[in-house]
């Protein structure tokens, strides 16, 4: 019976068998394929082997540094040490002194040591972080060293700059307070001072009533207390971020009590004698005033080992022709003087203005201002000592401006900043308010903003801030004197008697000696000399009018002519009258412009 059935329907049975076998194979293969898709992953190769640099970055990075982070003193020293190891032909690394607590003040010197005499190249001094809480100044300086090393030989501008100039880069001149800001519980404005113990409240004790991290969260925030007679209330839209004043006819909700702390010494005050208590940027030996005139000045100029170390370093390097110091915040390019009527020659003011005009273009939303006129009076500031005491054209940049948050010409309102924290930083930067039983005030609330918010940029804007400020610094450095012996013209007067005119040009904005330098005889004058084995110089002088050939003669040693200065984008002409034959050498020796020589043969 079954045989009959199979024989009768064998064609259909064969079709069904083929169908179900095919269906099984399709399903099985699809299941395997789906399993393979689920388990499929990219090859675990190194992404760096498949990456490509954006503009402004070198392809090869011998020293990898995450520039969207901050580094303490040890971390910063590690970056400098790795740079020195990776680029021994471009760098020297040494300590210029010690801090109050014994930390090294590191300097990395960057130049092409294989090209010219490094000690005679025009020098650019750059430092940061004189105020401990102004931390990103250190990162700008270290980034500058990192960028110069990696771009030498790749970018023509950087290569030319390091061939003719030397950079002295000191990331932090206040390493104690830098470390304290990172490692201790502090607010954004704390740890500005150095850390030599100081009796701020004159009670015979030092640093005995500092802030206290009452809730143990590692951050010093604010204290507030509920008070029907207080004049503050939480912002209706941003209650964790903003406390706003109530209207005059409105009942308040809170009184503000200041930063976290208790009365540690039992004198009826809170946080009145904090760590340190002085200002190293008021401790410099130019226009210095005592503490009762200028708060934070300490007992006398250069009383602190950190400021003394920088001064000794600069005094030992007369080739330094420009300087830059980094602070925060406000988005400002500051120039001197620090007080009304402070010293500043007209020609030096003009050079500073021209350079800072370029800076305002490199740094969007930054403004160039004079300290005393547009900010406040500063006595005994670093910038004034560099210019007033050393004749060096100097800027101080106040890093970071909140205008960069929304890329707008006007600073954002408090509400807009709160909005940025909430929607861009996803709330990072805030400490929620929490209750705390205070020994003096009773039940209070502690909370508010983290120290990383406000005065320093968030991570994704930090690298831009570093690069743009570095770019302005490099422009400033490129404006240091660039001298060339433009022409040596020889006129035969009679047999073996010649008039020799030497034209020296300065192809940059900064003169070889500033007006301040000349007035106070800070640096030696520039010297143009002529020498030859069979040549005797009879007379010489500076040409004051090349058309009427007027010459201001030297009174002695005619083989050398002293020039007060070779102005920015200007030239000087020197005349020698010499007798003899053969070849001679012209040498131009300038403390801040370097040494040039050129040989020529008498006709």
pLDDT along the chain (603 residues), means of 10: 58 66 64 63 76 82 95 98 98 98 98 97 98 96 98 97 98 96 79 89 87 92 96 94 94 95 93 90 97 95 98 98 96 97 96 98 97 95 98 98 96 96 94 96 95 94 97 98 98 96 98 98 98 97 94 96 98 98 97 97 94
Biggest CA–CA distance in the chain, Å, is 143
Comparing C-alpha atoms, which of 313, 322, 314, 310 is closest to residue 593? Answer: 322
The answer to whether the CB of 506 falls within 8 A of the CB of 482 is: yes
d(CA 144, CA 122): 17
pTM of the shown model = 0.92
Report pLDDT for 569: 98
> How far is the C-alpha of 139 from the C-alpha of 498, rounded, in Å?
57
CB burial of 156-182 (b: ≥16 within 10 Å; e: otherwise) equals eebbebbebbbbbbbbbbbbbbbbbbb
| Dihedral angle of Cα 415, 416, 422, 424, to the nearest 10 degrees | -170
CATH number of the 483-601 domain: 2.60.40.10
> What pLDDT is stored for residue 29 in this prediction?
62
CA distance 455 to 385: 26
Rounded CA separation 573/83 (Å): 43
pLDDT for 57: 78
Residue 398: closest CA among 137, 179, 67: 137
- Please report, to the nearest 10 degrees, the dihedral formed by the alpha carbons of residues 76, 80, 86, 91 taken in order: 170
**Bridge partners of residue 92, in order along the sequence:** 109
497-506 vs 550-553, strand pairing mode: unpaired
Q: Which bin fits 521, alpha (ψ -120 to 50), beta or left (φ > 0)? A: left
CATH of 64-197+278-402+457-480, one of 3.40.630.10, 3.30.70.270, 3.20.20.140, 3.50.50.60: 3.40.630.10
What's residue 256's pLDDT?
A: 97
Using CB atoms within 10 Å of the CB of residue 394, give its burial: 0 to 12 exposed, 13 to 18 middle, 19+ buried: buried
pLDDT, residue 5, reads 55
CB 207 within 8 A of CB 275: yes
Strand 320-328 to 123-128 pairing: parallel
């Amino acid at each position: 019976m079954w045989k009959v059935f199979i024989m009768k329907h064998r064609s259909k049975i064969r079709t069904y068998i083929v169908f179900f076998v095919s269906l099984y194979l399709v399903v099985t293969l699809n299941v395997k394929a789906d399993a393979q898709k689920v388990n499929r992953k990219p090859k675990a190769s190194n992404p760096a082997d498949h990456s490509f640099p954006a503009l402004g970055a070198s392809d090869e990075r011998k020293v990898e540094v995450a520039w969207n982070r901050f580094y303490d003193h040890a971390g910063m020293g590690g970056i400098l040490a790795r740079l020195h190891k990776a680029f021994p032909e471009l760098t020297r690394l040494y300590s210029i002194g010690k801090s109050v607590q014994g930390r090294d003040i590191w300097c990395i010197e960057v130049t092409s040591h294989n090209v010219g005499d490094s000690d005679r190249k025009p020098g650019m001094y750059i430092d940061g972080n004189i105020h401990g809480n102004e931390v990103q100044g250190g990162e700008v300086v270290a980034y500058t060293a990192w960028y110069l090393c990696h771009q030498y030989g790749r970018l023509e501008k950087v290569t030319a700059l390091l061939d003719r100039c030397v950079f002295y880069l000191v990331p932090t001149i206040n390493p104690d307070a830098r470390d304290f800001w990172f490692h201790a519980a502090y607010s954004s404005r704390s740890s500005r001072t150095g850390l030599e113990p100081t009796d701020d409240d004159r009670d015979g004790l030092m640093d005995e009533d500092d802030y206290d991290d009452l809730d143990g969260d590692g951050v010093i925030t604010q204290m507030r207390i509920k008070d029907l007679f207080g004049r503050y209330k939480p912002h209706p839209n941003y209650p964790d971020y903003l406390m706003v004043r109530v209207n005059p006819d409105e009942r308040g909700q809170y009184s503000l009590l200041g930063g976290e702390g208790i009365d540690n010494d039992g004198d009826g005050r809170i946080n009145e004698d904090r760590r340190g208590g002085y200002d190293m940027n008021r401790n410099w030996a130019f226009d210095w005033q005592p503490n009762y005139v200028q708060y934070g000045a300490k007992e006398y100029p250069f009383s602190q080992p950190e400021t003394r170390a920088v001064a000794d370093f600069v005094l030992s390097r007369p080739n330094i022709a420009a300087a830059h110091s980094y602070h925060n915040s406000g988005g400002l390019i500051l120039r001197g003087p620090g007080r009304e009527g402070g010293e500043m020659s007209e020609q030096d003011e003009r050079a500073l203005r021209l350079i800072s005009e370029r800076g305002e273009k490199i740094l969007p939303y930054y403004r160039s201002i004079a300290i005393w006129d547009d900010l406040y009076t500063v006595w005994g500031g670093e910038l004034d000592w560099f210019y007033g005491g050393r004749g060096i054209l100097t800027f101080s940049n106040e890093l970071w401006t909140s205008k960069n948050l929304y890329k707008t010409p006007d600073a954002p309102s408090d509400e807009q900043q709160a909005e940025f924290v909430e929607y861009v930083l996803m709330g990072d930067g805030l400490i929620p308010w929490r209750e705390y039983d205070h020994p003096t005030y009773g039940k209070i609330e502690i909370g508010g903003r983290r120290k990383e918010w406000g005065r320093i940029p968030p991570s994704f804007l930090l690298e831009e801030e570093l690069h743009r400020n570095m770019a302005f610094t490099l422009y400033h450095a490129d404006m240091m004197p660039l001298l060339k012996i433009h022409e040596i013209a020889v006129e035969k007067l009679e047999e073996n008697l010649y008039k020799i005119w030497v034209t020296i040009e300065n192809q940059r904005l900064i003169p070889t000696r500033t007006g301040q330098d000349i007035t106070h005889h800070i640096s030696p004058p520039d010297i143009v000399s002529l020498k030859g084995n069979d040549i005797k110089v009879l007379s010489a002088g500076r040409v004051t009018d090349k058309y009427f050939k007027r010459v201001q003669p030297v009174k002695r040693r005619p083989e050398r002519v002293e020039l007060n200065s070779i102005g920015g984008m200007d030239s000087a002409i020197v005349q020698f009258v010499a007798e003899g034959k053969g070849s001679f050498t012209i040498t131009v020796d300038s403390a801040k412009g370097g040494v040039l020589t050129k040989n020529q043969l008498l006709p």
